[in-house]
Chains A and B, each alone.
Chain A
Amino acid sequence: MKSLTLYLKFISIYLKCRLEYRVAFILDILMPIFSYSINYLTIWIILNRFSSIRGWDFNQIMFLYTINLFSYGLAGIIFYTPMRSLDSLVKKGDFDMFLTKPMNPFLHLINRQFEHIFIGHLILSSIVFLICLGNLNITWSVLKVIWLIFVLFGATLIQGAFMIITGSLSFFYTNSTSVASSILNSLRGFIDYPISIYNKGLKILLTFILPYGFISFYPSKYFLNKSNDEIFHYLFQYATPIVGILLFILSYKVWLLGVNNYKSTGS
């Protein structure tokens, strides 16, 4: 609780400082909006040409993509920059500083850096989400809305967990974080489209090994009323929050391993 108030205090200070350079701030946020608009555009170009992929039409794929983008943005605001900075913190030995403070180093690290750029992801995905809702025939109920919030929460945890795991790699291998995160970025490319289009091996990979499928594909199946022609259990559509929590715990364990490694090698 203490660290949460500390975090909120830090964010408010940070935003206050950043907003003093308004133009730069706005540019920083416009950049990902532009960038991801291009991604939406590529999806549009393909779906414009082929009208649907394995029974998923444009709006449905947009819905899928939007859950991915929103959760990525939310996780990115909190975890991206701290985890990316870990590489140089460890290399230069600056991580020492975190171990001399009466605070959990994980919370401390997250507390020290914040990334406003990802606000752009949130803005764009929210807009696209609203457009999608207009075009999709989903009958919303209170329960469904609550469930959506749970799904976004779980998806954010999954995205965050991957950021934490790749960041923690720097405790073991110098300079590995940026490459590791570009791998994850390209793997994340898999879930731009429904994973039902892939072969069995990839489906297993994206469900059990790198459970990206739970970020957007399985929950979307529920919201879009997709039939279960998959080899996997229908309960998977409800698993996102659980998978998120489990994966997040796992990522924290990896982090702890990394810190212990640092404590014994000092680099």
Chain B
Amino acid sequence: MSIIKVKNLNKEFHIRKREDGLLGAFKGVFSNEKIIKKAVNDISFEINKGEIIGYLGPNGAGKSTTIKMLSGILVPSSGLVKIKGLIPYENRIENARNIGVVFGQRTQLWWDIPISESFSLMKHMYKIPTIKYKRNMEMFSDILGISEFYNVPVRQLSLGQRMRADLCASLLHNPEILFLDEPTIGLDVVVKEKIRNFIKEINKSRKTTVILTTHDMEDIEKLASRVIVIDQGSLMYDGKLDMLKNIYGTEEVIEVEIKSNIKNFDELYKMGVNEINHKKNKILIKYNKEYINSATIIGWFMKQGKVNDFLVHGINIDEVIRKMYEKPMKNFM
């Protein structure tokens, strides 16, 4: 059963035209020209309870705009959004009780007061029963390690601490849906890992549906089972991550270290590899997964009996997405 339903969603913005230069700036004071920009263009998808969705796209693709329409911040130009049967922008307050939202760059916590007090104000705002609140606080501060900075106001927290506190605050009321906009941006590896584990844990134990936008492909690989890719406002791909890799990311690289020189690679080329780079005893081989696999290539080297070491560079999702932007394949859907 789908918990989020999006159908033919559109969002247009009107932007005031600005011209360059001093003269242009003068003109801008008196002119009123507008440009229409389609930020989201006819998008449809459905999301089921308990899924973790990676929502991907380059900067300015319309990711945030979509998330904002799902969370009731923006009103769509046209189209349908339903979250648990509610239209978010019409039932904003009711919808807000069902969702948790974390924007990587901003905080929902009170600026001047210790985060512990912020949490207790959240408790009041969401009318969270004391038992539930206490249980959640215990669990979250355990996994996220919040107790170290429990009594510090937000303005004094580091980015990583703030992020953890924000994540905690957004989940205190047990929302069924969690929107995460760039939750790991600017964080160090350790904190990133902590946050990923936390999201995974919440998703598993509570069946929380998570929608995640990020530029960090590791986030996606570790968390998301399904990805939705959007570019210039339009839906590019919706499906399993592996599928995406299979279709776009068919080129792999294998790195082989050999004992002594091999002079002739003709045989390998005949077997179907694309490119061979030869540097002393290190050889980089690019090949298409559809025609030949790594085992065959290694097998060939083994037959020569000269392999010291080898390393397969799997498909990098970052690369995949970039490729997709380069050659969009709308028709394959």
Contacts and interface: CB of A to CB of B under 8 A. Distances in A.
Interface of A: 2, 5-6, 9-10, 13-14, 17-18, 92-94, 96-97, 99-104, 108, 111-113, 263-266
Nearest to A102: B96
Interface string B51-78: 0000000000000010010011111000
B89 A263 contact: yes
Interface stretch (B102-110, B182-190, B211-219, B268-276): B102-110
Nearest to A263: B75
A66 to B, nearest CB: 30
A18 B117 CA distance: 14
A99 B113 contact: no
Given A10-B113, A13-B117, A108-B125, 12 more contacts: A2-B124, A13-B121, A94-B106, A99-B73, A99-B92, A111-B121, A112-B110, A112-B111, A264-B74, A264-B75, A266-B65, A266-B68
Q: Which interface residue of A93, A99, A111 has the most chain B CB atoms within 10 A?
A: A99
A96 B68 contact: yes
A263 B69 CA distance: 9
A10 B71 CA distance: 26
Contacts of B89: 263
Given A96-B103, A103-B125, A266-B65, A14 B73 contact: no
11 contacts: A9-B121, A9-B124, A13-B121, A14-B113, A18-B112, A92-B106, A96-B106, A102-B97, A103-B93, A265-B14, A266-B13
Nearest to B96: A102
Interface residues on B, range: 35 or more
A97 B108 contact: yes
Interface in B143-188: 153, 179
Contacts of B94: 102
Interface of B: 13-14, 65, 68, 71-75, 89, 92-94, 96-97, 99, 101, 103, 105-108, 110-114, 117, 120-121, 124-127, 153, 179
User: Most chain-B Cβ atoms within 10 A of its Cβ — which of A5, A9, A13, A104?
Assistant: A13
Q: Which of A5, A6, A10, A92 has the largest count of B CB atoms less than 10 A from its CB?
A: A10
A10 B110 contact: yes
A5 B72 CA distance: 26
A104 B125 CA distance: 10
Contact of B111 (A96, A102, A113): A113
Contacts of B117: 13, 17
Nearest to A6: B124
B153 A17 contact: yes
Contacts of A112: 110-111
A10 B121 contact: yes
A265 B75 CA distance: 8
A14 B111 CA distance: 10
B97 A97 contact: no
Contact of A263 (B74, B106, B125, B126): B74
Contacts of A14: 112-113
B289 to A, nearest CB: 42
B125 A6 contact: yes
Contacts of B112: 14, 17-18, 113
Contacts of B71: 96, 99-100
